Amino acid sequence: MIVDFKRNYNGSLMKPAYYGMEVLQESRMMIPDCRRRLAIAHADLLQLLETEEELAESEEYNEARNVLDSVKLEG
């Protein structure tokens, strides 16, 4: 049986199952950061649309408003 090993950040060898678990853990750590960044982007877009109401006639404004209205932030 041939086992495929990968090197981690320190250069030492890891078994594939361990490597998969490491990737899963890193992905789980990224979720809260992505949520935080999305909440900031949502607030920024909302503020921009509120301050730039004179652009309400433009297609971009209406598209941004539609996107903003279609998104519900959790937690």
51 inside domain: yes
- Select the more confidently predicted residue: 21 or 68: 68
Per the structure, how many domains does the chain have?
Answer: 1
What is the distance between the alpha carbons of residues 25 and 63, in angstroms, rounded to a whole number?
36
Q: Determine what percent of the chain is predicted with pLDDT higher than 70.
A: 73
Give mean pLDDT, residues 49-55.
Answer: 87
52 inside domain: yes
User: What backbone torsions phi and psi does residue 7 show, to the nearest 5 degrees?
Assistant: -95, 140
Q: How confident is the model at residue 6 (pLDDT cuts 50, 70, 90)?
A: low
* Residue 47 three-state SS: helix
10 inside domain: yes
Give mean pLDDT, residues 50-60.
Answer: 88
Give mean pLDDT, residues 60-69.
Answer: 89
Between CA 61 and CA 63, with CA 67 as vertex, the angle to 5 degrees is 30
1 inside domain: no
Owning domain of residue 46 = 6-70
